[in-house]
Amino acid sequence: MIDLIKELLGISLEDITKDTTLNFYLSKSKNAIRTYLNIDLTVDNETLYQNQIVELAMFYYNNRKEIGKVQQSQGSRSQSLVDGIPQSIKETLPLPKIKVVG
């Protein structure tokens, strides 16, 4: 998956200086999707949701300086930032599983 992220971000495959950061965001993406779907991410599920995991990792990487901000204003411009998984990625995932406790 890291090779795909590098290719999509325009990072040379030989450039290993960003691998630790990219692996961190891959892991964070897997955890976010696992939590959102309320499932265990087995190898089969990781393969099934590989595109969403990669897309979310890229989103985290590209917005790493904005994490934690909810809204930003600069002069007359105001911007609301996404918190969690962006809607465009959620739309490509199945509905979360509901666990009944009782």
Domain-located, residue 84: yes
Domain-located, residue 97: no
Rounded to the nearest angstrom, the gap between the alpha carbon of residue 8 and the centroid of all alpha carbons in its chain is 14
Residue numbers of the domain that contains 18:
2-65+76-90
Q: How many domains does the chain have?
A: 1
Distance between CA atoms of residues 47 and 64, nearest Å: 25
Report pLDDT digits (tens) over 60-97: 999 888 765 556 566 777 655 566 888 899 999 988 88
Domain-located, residue 100: no
Domain-located, residue 23: yes
Distance between CA atoms of residues 5 and 73, nearest Å: 30
Report pLDDT digits (tens) over 17-61: 999 999 999 999 999 999 999 888 888 888 999 999 999 999 999
Q: Distance between terminal CA atoms of the chain?
A: 39
Tell me what pLDDT residue 78 has.
63
